């Protein structure tokens, strides 16, 4: 099947189970795409590109563009006014149904274009609310995975939860505890609820050699999680104080970040004896966490229920500790007893009880054989009950039973969506200075490109969009808006750049070839964009047969992509600028031009002529522009 995952925000460092699930589906042969309403809030991501899902990630465009979508839908009669009004009346304005509908309009167009057969959402929250609108617009079936805090605390509306469950093809509960909570709130949909544990790919967690080695001096305790109230890290530190009072040597590392970091660091700073140490190590990568788990004696998570009712349900980090064959000390809370078998794979204490937690540490501190036995039992339990492959098989069965829309995008449609033939990259959309008659208008550009199969049009950032109250007749139509994609948030670009390895150094070295006239900030931003676009280029051969850039920033990015081998040939169009000139120094342009097969520098005949015979100045009409692109594209295809 071709399945889309919809997230409120993607990726989130603490939600590694989502990537695990998607990778398992990909390994089973399913084609996955990821859609995200919001960009990430950090460039941190576990692992590197080889560890991430192969799925392409599509982000909603910037706010002004989304508003233009809503305005265009209202003008052409596609705005779901009745559904928006019903949701606002039934569930309340705080759930922003108009915003959910706007996201749905954008993603529904993508789902149709790309032949998605099923939509799945993690967490009963804003993304699932948007999925209700997508389902109404497309008839694509959707399903959701409900965890606990999402529907028990964050959503705050059982009526909306019941609507989500009623419309969903099926609902996954991540634990028996979660399923009981869902049944209690949505009894009419109980037959749709299926418990599927978040699984772990045990084959990626080889048994650490340290498991059979003699223990170190002192108990090595490790914990990890977001530094928030319901993780109970202050209770863990309090238990460590009690360990010190009982004279048991230990070292406790707490990994993660969050709003309570300063308070926890102050609490940990009270230990002034090196034999009793608590320290916070900040956000760690998956590889670093795995190394810490391999080296520790015991994994601890003192989870509890926060004042607002939020709590951990099925902490993935406990599964990871079991994969490392380490005994687990945690609490009898929510679904934790479904993972940790008290006295068999670890010890469970009462929440908010540091003394009870300490007793578990004392039992483990002096008994290496007990730690070994509990750890090995935990790994066996993980293999038997929490296999990622088994969870994926169950989920695939539900997808198949839910059925799809019964159609897939044909190959030409997919090729068009992926831009395998002609890729047009613009500085902004709509581009400035394209309405004075010297260049094709935005509508003419879209119309010309729309006649050529296998074309993709991407903008680096949004231009100026008129509001719904504007009386101009040049407002963007839905047809024009559907044709454009936008570069993602800078955090996404930074993530790919940090994982580019030696590729980043290659791009930086090319800066010397064009001299210092191109500013460092300008070059580095173009390089980050090029790394991201290079990874988005079609993987089959040929990649982009021809890349056409519109604007100076796109020109520099196209030059880098050509160097990376992402496009066979490249050309450019430099529109006139209000202040005159082409936007990049002429000396820089002359050094870049040899990589281009041709182009236009509107209003700069002399500068264009200095680049070679295939470069032109003066005005440019739509027909001449498209004719030139067709010639270069045909030449690249030979």
Cβ 568 vs Cβ 544: under 8 Å:
yes
For 290-319, what is the mean pLDDT?
94
Question: Mind giving me the DSSP string for 62-96?
Answer: PHHHHHHHHHHHHHHT---HHHHHHHHHHH-GGG-
Same domain, 436 and 374: no
Residue 577 pLDDT = 64
Residue 493: partners with Cβ closer than 8 Å, 6 or more residues away:
487, 528, 529, 531, 532
Provide mean pLDDT across the span 85-94.
97
569, 597 Cβ separation under 8 angstroms:
yes
- Is residue 605 scored above 50 in pLDDT? yes
> Does the pLDDT value for residue 353 go beyond 60?
yes
pLDDT of residue 170: 98
Q: Which of 375-384, 437-446, 617-626 has the lowest mean pLDDT?
A: 437-446
- Distance (Å, rounded) from C-alpha 185 to C-alpha 150? 13
Same domain flag for 131 and 212: no
> Which residues sit opposite 550 in a β-bridge?
426, 573
Q: Which of 358, 377, 408 represents a domain boundary (last residue)?
A: 408
- Give alpha helix (H) positions in 115-221: 126-138, 149, 158-167, 176-185
What whole-number distance in Å separates Cα of residue 88 and Cα of residue 80? Answer: 12
Residue range 557-565: mean pLDDT, rounded: 95
- Give the Cα separation of 468 and 617 in Å (integer): 36
Residue 204: what pLDDT? 84
| Average pLDDT of the residues in 617-629 | 89
Two tokens at 238? 């309090």
If you count DSSP H runs as helices and E runs as strands, how many of each does the chain have, helices first?
Answer: 26, 20
Closest C-alpha to 143, from 118, 164, 168, 107: 168
Handedness of CA 599, 604, 607, 612 (dihedral sign): positive
First to last CA, the chain: 34
What average pLDDT does the segment 159-176 reach?
A: 98
Q: Say how far apart CA 97 and CA 623 lie, in whole Å.
A: 43
- 98: Cβ–Cβ under 8 A, 6 or more apart, which residues? 70, 84, 88
Beta bridge partners of 255: 224, 282
Query: Quick check: 319 and 205 in contact, CB under 8 A?
Result: no
pLDDT, tens only, 69-80? 999 999 999 999
Cα dihedral across residues 145, 150, 155, 161: positive or negative: positive
In 3D, which of 19, 73, 61 has the Cα closest to residue 37?
A: 61
Q: What would the mean pLDDT of 529-553 be, rounded to a whole number?
A: 86
Q: Do residue 317 and residue 366 come from a single domain?
A: yes
Residues 427 and 366 in one domain: no
Q: Lowest mean pLDDT: which of 110-119, 248-257, 538-547, 561-570?
A: 538-547
pLDDT on residue 216: 61
* Sign of the C-alpha dihedral computed for residues 221, 224, 227 and 231 taken in this order: negative
- What average pLDDT does range 605-634 have in this prediction? 90
Q: Do 289 and 370 share a domain, yes or no?
A: yes
3-state secondary structure of 30: coil
Reported confidence tier of residue 542, pLDDT bands at 50, 70, 90: low
What pLDDT score does 434 carry? 67
Residue 64's closest CA among 483, 479, 575, 429? 429
**CATH label of the domain that carries residue 612:** 3.40.50
Parallel, antiparallel, or unpaired for β 31-38 and 56-59? Answer: parallel
Report H helices in 499-551. Answer: 502-514, 520-536
Residue 167's CB is within 10 A of a number of other CB atoms, namely 16
187-236 confidence digits (pLDDT tens): 999 999 999 999 999 988 887 765 544 456 699 999 999 999 999 999 99
pLDDT in tens, 452-505: 877 889 999 998 775 544 444 456 777 778 888 999 999 999 999 999 999 999
| Residue 288 neighbours by CB distance under 10 Å | 14
User: Quick check: 175 pLDDT over 50?
Assistant: yes
Tell me, yes or no, whether 601 and 623 share the same domain: yes
Say if CB 128 and CB 144 are below 8 A apart: yes
Do 192 and 207 lie in a common domain?
no
Taking 50 as the threshold, does the pLDDT of residue 285 lie above it? yes
Report the domain count for the chain: 3
C-alpha closest to that of 574 among 558, 422, 526: 558
pLDDT, mean of residues 583-605: 89
Q: Clarify whether residues 105 and 176 are in a common domain.
A: yes
Token code pair at residue 56 = 């392409």
Check whether residue 6 and residue 136 sit in a common domain: yes
What does the chain come to in residues? Answer: 638
DSSP string for residues in 389-429: HHHHHHHHHHHHHH---S----HHHHHHHHTSSEEEEEEEE
DSSP string, 591-622: HHGGG-SEEEETT-HHHHHTT-TTEE-S---H
Domain range holding 512? 412-637
Q: Are residues 299 and 168 in the same domain?
A: no
More confident call, 139 vs 404 = 139
Which domain-ending residue is among 377, 408, 439?
Answer: 408
Q: Which of 376, 408, 440 is the last residue of a domain?
A: 408
Rounded Cα gap, residues 333 and 328, in angstroms: 14
The whole-angstrom separation of Cα 369 and Cα 366 is 9
CATH code: domain of residue 289: 3.40.50.2000
Of 440, 432, 459, 474, the closest CA to residue 578 belongs to: 432
Q: Which candidate, 11, 62, 61, places its Cα nearest to that of 34?
A: 11
Contact 94, 389 (CB under 8 A): no
In this structure, are 454 and 314 located in the same domain? no
Residue in the block written with tokens 């270069």: 632
- Region 389-413: mean pLDDT is 78
Contacts of residue 199, Cβ cutoff 8 Å, sequence gap at least 6: 20, 21, 24, 386, 387, 388, 389, 390, 391, 392
Average pLDDT, the chain: 90
The pLDDT value recorded for residue 579 is 46
Element (H, E) at 20: helix 16-27
CA 364 → CA 214, 215, 218, 345, distances in Å? 14, 11, 11, 12
In whole angstroms, give the CA distance from residue 382 to residue 614: 65
One DSSP character per residue, 300-325 reads E------TTS---SS-HHHHHHHHTT
Same domain, 172 and 289: no
């Amino acid at each position: 099947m071709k399945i889309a995952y919809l997230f409120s925000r993607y990726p989130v460092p603490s939600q590694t189970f989502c990537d695990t699930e998607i990778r398992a589906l990909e390994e089973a042969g399913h084609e996955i795409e990821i859609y995200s309403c919001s960009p990430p809030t950090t460039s941190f991501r576990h692992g590197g590109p080889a560890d991430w899902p192969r799925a392409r990630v599509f982000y909603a465009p910037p706010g002004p563009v989304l508003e233009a979508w809503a305005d265009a839908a209202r003008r052409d009669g596609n705005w779901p006014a009745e559904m928006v009004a019903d949701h606002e009346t039934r569930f309340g304005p705080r759930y922003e149904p108009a915003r959910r509908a706007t996201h749905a309009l954008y993603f529904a167009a993508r789902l149709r274009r790309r032949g998605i057969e099923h939509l799945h959402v993690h967490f009963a929250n804003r993304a699932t609310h948007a999925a209700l609108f997508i389902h109404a617009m497309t008839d694509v079936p959707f399903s959701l995975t409900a965890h606990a805090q999402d529907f028990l605390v964050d959503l705050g509306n059982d009526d909306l939860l019941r609507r989500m469950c009623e419309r969903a093809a099926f609902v996954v509960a991540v634990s028996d505890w979660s399923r009981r909570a869902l049944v209690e709130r949505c009894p009419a949909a109980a037959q749709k609820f299926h418990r599927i544990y978040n699984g772990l790919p045990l084959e990626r967690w080889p048994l650490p050699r340290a498991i059979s080695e003699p223990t170190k001096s002192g108990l090595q305790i490790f914990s990890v999680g977001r530094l928030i109230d319901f993780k109970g890290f202050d209770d863990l530190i309090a238990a460590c104080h009690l360990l010190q009072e009982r004279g048991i040597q230990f070292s406790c590392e707490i990994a993660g970040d969050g709003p309570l970091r300063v308070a926890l660091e102050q609490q940990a700073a009270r230990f002034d004896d090196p034999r009793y140490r608590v320290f916070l190590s900040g956000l760690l990568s998956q590889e670093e966490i795995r190394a810490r788990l391999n080296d520790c004696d015991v994994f601890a998570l003192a989870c509890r229920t926060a004042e607002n009712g939020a709590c951990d349900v099925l902490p993935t980090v406990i599964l990871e500790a079991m994969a490392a064959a380490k005994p687990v000390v945690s609490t009898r809370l929510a679904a934790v007893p479904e993972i940790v078998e008290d006295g068999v794979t670890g010890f469970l204490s009462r929440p908010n009880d540091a003394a009870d937690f300490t007793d578990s540490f004392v039992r483990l501190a002096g008994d290496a054989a007990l730690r070994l036995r509990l750890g090995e039992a935990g790994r066996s339990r993980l293999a038997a009950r929490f296999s990622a492959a088994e969870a994926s098989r169950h989920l695939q069965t539900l997808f198949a039973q839910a059925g799809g829309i019964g159609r897939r995008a044909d190959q030409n449609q997919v090729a068009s969506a992926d831009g395998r033939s002609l890729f047009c990259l613009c500085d902004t959309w709509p581009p400035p200075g394209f309405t004075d008659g010297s260049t094709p208008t935005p509508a003419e550009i879209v119309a010309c490109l729309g006649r050529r199969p296998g074309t993709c049009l991407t903008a680096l950032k949004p231009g100026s969009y008129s509001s719904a109250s504007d009386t101009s007749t040049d407002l963007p139509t839905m047809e024009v808006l559907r044709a454009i994609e936008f570069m993602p948030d800078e955090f996404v670009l930074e993530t790919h750049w940090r994982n580019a390895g030696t590729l980043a150094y290659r791009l930086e070295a090319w800066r010397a070839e064009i001299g210092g006239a191109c500013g460092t900030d300008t070059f580095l931003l173009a390089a980050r964009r090029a790394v991201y676009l290079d990874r988005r280029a079609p993987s089959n051969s040929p990649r982009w047969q021809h890349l056409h850039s519109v604007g100076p920033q796109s020109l520099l990015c196209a030059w880098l992509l050509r160097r990376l081998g992402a496009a066979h040939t490249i050309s450019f169009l430099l529109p006139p600028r209000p202040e005159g000139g082409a936007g990049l120094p002429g000396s820089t342009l002359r050094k870049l031009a040899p990589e281009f097969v041709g182009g236009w520098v509107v209003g700069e005949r002399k500068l264009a002529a200095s680049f070679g015979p295939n470069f032109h100045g003066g005005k440019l009409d739509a027909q001449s522009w498209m004719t030139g692109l067709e010639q270069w594209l045909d030449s690249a295809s030979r």
